[in-house]
């Protein structure tokens, strides 16, 4: 049913990497880049074709999401023959699963309506006589002692405070109906209405109640609804009466927030601006709830962004073992939509995130589950591992990890009582009486002990090898951004003092962006390589990784070279050439890895969710 | 116009003064509309027999739309009752003080709830299991937890 919005066919793929890139450029320099690229040896992928490491998706603005919601609501209205506001509450209570809703509703409409907070529960066998019973009936699910005592106490209160207002609040305790109609109770002239919350008894007080008939003044409703929406982010706003399970339908909320005729501003406790804000926040919360309920939709995680991404290809658990669904929410503007204005763009940077996980916004080329596993390992292990590596040794007999925090080199293992020398790791018995020095470094037993130790250290070393490179690329990416900020300043100064044009001093920008992007790729290739099982596939992967790393380091170095006006033309040529080369290398790594996932070519040395169990010989502990 | 809380509290206060508190509950002080103190005592046969506790209410302008901050006073030799839902710093774990608060509830109803919470405890003279950890990190206002 979302086919109306399908525009991600090959001809106009909007979030192709190339396009993204060009959007940051002025036309002149990017054209030149492309010309340079044409001269390159590498085959150039046609621009608008989706690459294997890119996923098909499209971005939706909030209004488009709301349109989808309305369509779902209308669908339910037509099938179940209910009002839109009822249909909406029903869908929300079923997490927008319309098939389940229809099935359950056909089965037992009153249960579904009660669970959705639309109607009151069926009255127990005997007719209700006073409002207190209603509370007891609706609180049937309470289990803990606190809750139980809470309820019983509130009954006592109910008697106290409702004694004055019950004649007006309780006209018809239970009304059987399927469409929520809220009633505006007018005060009877002989029994002046007193709002049980604020005790206001002004004669012209506007009062409202949901279908339960428990009436409160509009000011209290207003403050309550605004506080629920603004402070608690709540969309299911229950009746203010204690224990009442009815939920205020949208038209009720709208009428409270935008009263007709407009309320006298001086009499309102909440100003109209807050009301309007609460209403728009409410709409946003509804859209978020809808998006959160749908597997193929995700809300942009960037603060303040209200866009949504629809990515059916990245929605299933299985698909996450074959693709890395990196998406952009379209914060720079969703093409073809009228509200793709600048108000969405935050500082001109696109909102990139992974549709499959919250690990990191772009962890290509490695799939979500492996990225997650790696980060968990890093969080758990890195600091500890580093500390262990630099501060401890293992007992050469029982391999217990030992920290030497003082004393001489004659160690006695606390666990196995083995006596050894901290310096050479050989048994102490060979040391004779040389108590405080070790001159026996090459003794056979000592060499053997050190061998055993190095084997047990190997896995730690292996991990640190990958971790340090992983962390290094992240750090370098940061540094290159800082460097660029400085360079940019210098170049702009130069533009003023020399004859260079603006376009001519912009070539660094693309190069820095490219370096940053490639470092992110490199970073994650180390996470991937750590888990890849040994073999030809891994060798090829590491070859590609090495080529990219070499190219990136070369370009990085070039970016750090001193900039003087006279060397700019030659520097520019070099940087531009290198940047294109780096871009191609990056594409090769991404594409080859993505294809590998699609072909099921990668084998792991640990168990990875969704993949085949690794061969026993490939397991690394 | 923050007067809704003031109007509501003055109404509650005048009701308490004219009709008196429920048995076992007494108003100690209500000099302003920010902090009120009550003493609370469990009547009849109870493990808290003859013990008198002091309950403190703190109101902000959001009252009664949002719940008051309610806790036992533990200064000047006063003690919080020993109960599986009451922490040694006086904080109380009760649903109506949190997400089950309803604006129709009021000061006396909260007192009654807590009184009945004490009365319904027949044997367990114990702090909550996580008491030490909670008390160490708890903010002074129980609503900020």
B46 reaches A (C-beta below 8 A): no
- Checking if the pLDDT of A143 tops 80, the result is no
Question: Closest residue of B to A142, CA-based?
Answer: B95
Distance from CA of B11 to the nearest CA of A (A): 7
With beta carbons under 8 A apart, name residues in chain B contacting A134: none
- Tell me the C-alpha distance between A63 and A53, whole Å: 30
Residues pairing with A309 in the sheet: A59, A298
Nearest of B113, B124, B127 to residue B47 by alpha carbon? B124
Please report which confidence band the pLDDT of residue A257 belongs to, taking 50, 70 and 90 as the band edges: very high
Q: What is the pLDDT of residues A349-382, one digit of tens each?
A: 678 889 888 878 888 888 888 998 888 888 876 6
- Confidence (pLDDT) at B143: 78
Query: pLDDT grade, residue A248 (50/70/90)?
Result: very high
pLDDT mean over A544-555? 92
Predicted confidence (pLDDT) at residue A142 exceeds the cutoff of 70: no
For chain A, what percent of residues have pLDDT higher than 90?
Answer: 25
Candidate from A176-190, A456-470, A487-501 with smallest mean pLDDT:
A176-190
Provide, rounded to the nearest whole percent, the portion of chain A with pLDDT above 70. Answer: 71
CATH number (domain holding residue B86): 3.10.110.10
In a domain, A399, yes or no: yes
Flag if A243 and B113 touch (Cβ within 8 Å). no
Stronger pLDDT, A435 or A313, i.e. the higher one: A313
User: Looking at the 3D structure of chain A, how many domains does it have?
Assistant: 2
Q: Given an 8 Å threshold on Cβ–Cβ distance, is A150 in contact with B4?
A: no
Q: Give the one of A196, A268, A269 whose C-beta lies nearest to B104's C-beta.
A: A196
Assess whether pLDDT exceeds 60 at residue A132.
no
Mean pLDDT of chain A: 75
Interface of A with B in 64-83 (CB under 8 A): none
Q: Which residues of B touch A161 (CB under 8 A)?
A: 104, 106, 109
Is residue A159 pLDDT above 70, yes or no?
no
Q: Do A227 and B66 touch (CB under 8 A)?
A: yes
The pLDDT-based confidence of A269 (bands split at 50, 70, 90) is low
A269 touches chain B (CB under 8 A): yes
Residue A406 per-residue DSSP state: S
Q: How confident is the model at residue A304 (pLDDT cuts 50, 70, 90)?
A: confident
What distance in Å separates residue B133's CA from the closest CA in chain A?
A: 21
**Residue bearing the bigger pLDDT, A529 or A180:** A529
B106 contact residues in A (CB cutoff 8 A): 157, 161
* CA dist list (Å): B129 to A581, B70, B84, B118: 63, 21, 8, 17
Residue in A146, A157, A240 closest to B103 by CB = A240
- In the predicted model, is pLDDT for residue A29 greater than 60? no
- Residue numbers of the domain that contains A191: 183-260+271-292
Q: Is residue A343 part of a domain?
A: no
Which residues of B are designated catalytic? 93
Q: Compare A333 and B32 and report the one with higher pLDDT.
A: B32
Q: What is the per-residue pLDDT for A164?
A: 37
Hey, which residues of A are catalytic here?
408
Predicted confidence (pLDDT) at residue A5 exceeds the cutoff of 60? no
- Return the residue of A nearest to B96 by Cα: A150
Using a CB–CB cutoff of 8 Å, tell me whether A219 touches chain B: yes
**Residues of the domain holding B36:** 4-137
CATH number of the structural domain spanning residue A536: 1.20.120.1750
CB contact under 8 A, B64 and A154: no
Of residues A240, A242, A149, the one with CA closest to residue B111: A149
CB contact under 8 A, B104 and A197: yes
Residue A17 binned pLDDT confidence (cut-offs 50, 70, 90):
very low
Does some domain include residue A514?
Answer: yes
Is the pLDDT at B83 greater than 80? The verdict is yes
| Among A80-89, A102-111, A122-131, B111-120, the least confident range | A122-131
State whether residue B144 sits within 8 Å of chain A by CB.
no
Which of A149, A156, A198 is facing B7, going by the closest CB pair? A198
**Nearest Cβ partner for B105 among A157, A216, A269:** A157
Determine the Cα angle at A331 with ends A329 and A335, to 5°. 85
d(CA A257, CA A272): 8
- pLDDT, residue A509, reads 79
Question: A148, B94: Cβ pair inside 8 Å?
Answer: no
pLDDT at residue A525 is higher than 90: yes
Q: Residue B123: its chain A contacts at CB < 8 A?
A: none
Regarding whether A280 and A423 lie in a shared domain, the answer is no
Closest CA–CA distance from residue A271 to any residue of chain B (Å): 10
Q: Do B104 and A242 make contact, defined as CB atoms within 8 angstroms?
A: yes
Q: Is residue A210 part of a domain?
A: yes
Provide the number of structural domains found in chain B.
1
Give the Cα separation of A225 and A245 in Å (integer): 15
B85 CB within 8 Å of a chain A CB: yes
A250 with A395, same domain: the answer is: no
Residue A280 has pLDDT above 90, yes or no: yes
Whether residue A247 is found in the same domain as residue A394: no
- Look at residue A38 and tell me whether its pLDDT is greater than 90: no
Q: What is the distance between the alpha carbons of residues B116 and B83, in angstroms, rounded to a whole number?
A: 12
Q: B123: cis peptide before it, omega within 30°?
A: no
Task: Please give the average per-residue pLDDT across A528-532, as a whole number.
Answer: 91
Q: How far is A134 from chain B (nearest CA, A)?
A: 15
Q: Which residues of A touch B120 (CB under 8 A)?
A: 145, 148-149
* Interface contact B94-A150, CB threshold 8 A: yes
Angle at A564 (CA atoms; ends A563, A565), nearest 5 degrees: 125
What is the tens place of the pLDDT at every residue in B16-49? 999 988 889 999 999 999 999 999 999 888 888 8
Inform me whether the C-beta atom of residue A156 falls under 8 Å from chain B C-beta atoms.
yes
A227 touches chain B (CB under 8 A): yes
Interface of A with B in 130-149 (CB under 8 A): 144-149
* Shortest CA gap A267–chain B (Å): 8
- pLDDT tens track for A46-88: 445 677 788 888 888 889 999 999 999 999 999 999 999 999 9
Would you state the pLDDT for residue A528?
92
pLDDT of residue A487: 74
pLDDT at residue A265 above 60? no
Cβ contacts below 8 Å, chain A against chain B, sum to 91
A383: confidence class by pLDDT, cuts 50, 70, 90? low
Across the range A535-558, mean pLDDT stands at: 90
Q: Is residue B145 assigned to a domain? A: no
Q: Is the pLDDT of residue B124 over 60?
A: yes
Count of residues making up chain B? 145
Dump pLDDT digits (tens) for A217-236. Answer: 998 999 999 999 998 889 99
Residue whose C-alpha is closest to residue B70's, from B49, B53, B52:
B53
Chain A interface includes B81 (CB < 8 A): no
Decide if B108 and A160 are in contact by the 8 Å CB cutoff: yes
Lowest-pLDDT choice from A79-93, A165-179, A548-562, B21-35: A165-179
Q: What is the mean pLDDT of residues A297-306?
A: 87
ipTM of the complex: 0.81
* Residue B116 at interface with chain A, using a CB cutoff of 8 Å: yes
CB A52 within 8 A of CB A591: yes
Choose the closest CB to B11 out of A145, A199, A219. A199
CB contact under 8 A, B104 and A241: yes
Q: CA nearest A470: which of A353, A369, A549?
A: A549
Q: How far is B87 from chain A (nearest CA, A)?
A: 14
pLDDT band per the 50, 70, 90 thresholds, residue A616 = confident
Provide the pLDDT for residue A543. Answer: 92
Best CA proximity match to A349, nearest among A57, A20, A63, A579: A20
Question: Which of B9, B16, B65 has the most A C-beta neighbours within 10 Å, making it the best mutation to test the interface with A?
Answer: B65
Distance from CA of A227 to the nearest CA of B (A): 8
A44 within domain boundaries: no
Question: Do B117 and A224 count as a contact with CB atoms less than 8 A apart?
Answer: no
Is the pLDDT at A291 greater than 80? The verdict is yes
When pLDDT is cut at 50, 70 and 90, the band that residue A402 belongs to is confident
Same domain, yes or no, for A548 and A431?
yes
Tell me the mean pLDDT in the region A252-259. Answer: 92
Assess B120–A contact: CB distance below 8 Å, yes or no: yes
- Closest CA relative to residue A555, chosen from A590, A524, A529, A517: A517
Tokens 């949190």 found at: B98
Question: What is the model's pLDDT at position A397?
Answer: 79
Between strands B52-58 and A419-421, the pairing is unpaired
A10 pLDDT more than 50: no
């Amino acid at each position: 049913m979302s086919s109306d919005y399908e525009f991600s066919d090959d001809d106009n793929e909007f979030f192709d990497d190339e396009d993204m890139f060009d959007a940051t450029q002025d036309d002149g320099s990017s054209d030149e880049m492309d010309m340079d690229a044409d001269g390159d040896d590498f085959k150039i992928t046609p621009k608008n074709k989706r690459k294997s490491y890119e996923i098909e998706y499209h971005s939706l603005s909030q209004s488009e999401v709301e349109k989808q919601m309305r369509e779902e609501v209308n669908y339910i209205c037509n099938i179940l023959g209910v009002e839109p506001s009822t249909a909406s509450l029903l869908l929300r209570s079923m997490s927008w699963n319309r098939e389940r809703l229809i099935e359950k509703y056909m089965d037992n409409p009153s249960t579904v309506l009660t669970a959705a907070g639309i109607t009151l529960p069926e009255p127990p066998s005997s007719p209700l006589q006073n409002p207190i019973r209603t509370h007891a009936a609706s609180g049937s699910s309470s289990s803990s002692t606190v809750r139980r005592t809470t309820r019983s106490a509130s009954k006592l209160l109910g008697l106290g405070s409702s004694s004055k207002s019950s004649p007006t609040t309780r006209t018809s305790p239970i009304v059987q109906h399927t469409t929520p109609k809220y009633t505006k109770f007018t005060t009877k002239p002989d029994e002046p209405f007193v709002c049980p919350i604020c005790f206001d008894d002004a004669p012209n007080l506007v009062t409202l109640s949901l279908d339960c008939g428990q009436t409160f003044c509009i000011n209290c409703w207003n403050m309550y609804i605004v506080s629920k929406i603004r402070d608690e982010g709540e969309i299911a706003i229950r009746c203010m009466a204690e224990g009442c399970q009815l939920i205020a339908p949208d038209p009720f909320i709208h009428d409270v927030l935008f009263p007709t005729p407009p309320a006298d501003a001086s009499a309102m406790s909440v100003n109209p601006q807050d009301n309007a804000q609460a209403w728009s926040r409410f709409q946003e919360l509804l859209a978020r709830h809808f998006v959160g309920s749908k597997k193929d939709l995700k809300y942009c995680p960037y603060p303040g962004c209200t866009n949504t991404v629809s990515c059916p290809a990245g929605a299933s658990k299985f698909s996450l073992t074959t693709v890395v669904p990196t998406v952009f929410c379209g914060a720079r503007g969703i093409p073809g939509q009228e509200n793709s204005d600048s108000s969405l763009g935050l500082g001109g940077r696109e909102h990139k995130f992974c549709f499959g996980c919250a690990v990191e916004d772009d962890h290509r080329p490695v799939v979500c589950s492996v990225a997650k596993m790696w980060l968990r390992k890093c969080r758990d292990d890195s600091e500890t591992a580093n500390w262990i590596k630099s501060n401890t040794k293992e007992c050469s007999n029982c391999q217990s990890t030992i920290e030497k925090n003082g004393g001489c080199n004659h160690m006695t293992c606390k666990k196995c009582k083995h006596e050894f020398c901290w310096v050479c790791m050989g048994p102490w018995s060979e040391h004779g009486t040389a108590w405080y020095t070790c001159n026996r470094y090459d003794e056979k037993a000592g060499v053997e002990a050190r061998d055993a130790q190095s084997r047990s250290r190997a896995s730690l070393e292996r991990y640190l090898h990958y971790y340090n490179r992983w962390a290094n690329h992240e750090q370098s990416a940061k540094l290159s951004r800082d460097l660029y900020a400085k360079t940019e300043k210098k170049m702009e100064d130069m533009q003023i003092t020399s004859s260079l044009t603006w376009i001519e001093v912009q070539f660094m920008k693309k190069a820095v962006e490219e370096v940053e992007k490639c470092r992110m790729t490199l970073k994650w290739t180390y996470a991937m390589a750590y888990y890849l099982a040994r073999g030809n596939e891994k060798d090829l992967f590491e070859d590609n990784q090495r080529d990219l790393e070499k190219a990136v380091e070369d370009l990085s170095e070039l970016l750090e070279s001193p900039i003087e006006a006279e060397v700019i033309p030659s520097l520019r040529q070099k940087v531009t050439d290198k940047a294109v080369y780096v871009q191609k290398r990056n594409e090769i790594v991404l594409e080859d890895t993505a294809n590998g996932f699609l072909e099921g070519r990668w084998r792991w040395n640990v168990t990875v969710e969704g993949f085949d169990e690794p061969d026993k010989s490939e397991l690394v502990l | 116009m923050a007067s809704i809380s003031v109007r509501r509290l003055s109404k509650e206060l005048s009701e308490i003064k004219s009709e008196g508190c429920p048995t076992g509950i007494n108003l100690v002080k209500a000099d302003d509309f920010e902090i009120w103190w009550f003493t609370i005592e469990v009547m009849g046969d109870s493990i808290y027999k003859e013990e008198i506790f002091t309950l403190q209410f703190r109101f902000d302008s959001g009252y009664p739309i949002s719940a008051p901050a309610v806790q036992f006073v533990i200064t000047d030799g006063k003690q919080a009752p020993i109960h599986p839902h009451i922490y040694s710093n006086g904080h109380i774990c009760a649903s109506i003080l949190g997400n089950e608060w309803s604006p129709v509830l009021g000061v006396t109803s909260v007192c009654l709830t807590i009184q009945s919470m004490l009365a319904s405890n027949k044997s367990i003279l114990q702090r909550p299991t996580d008491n030490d950890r909670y008390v160490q990190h708890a903010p002074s206002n129980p609503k900020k937890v």
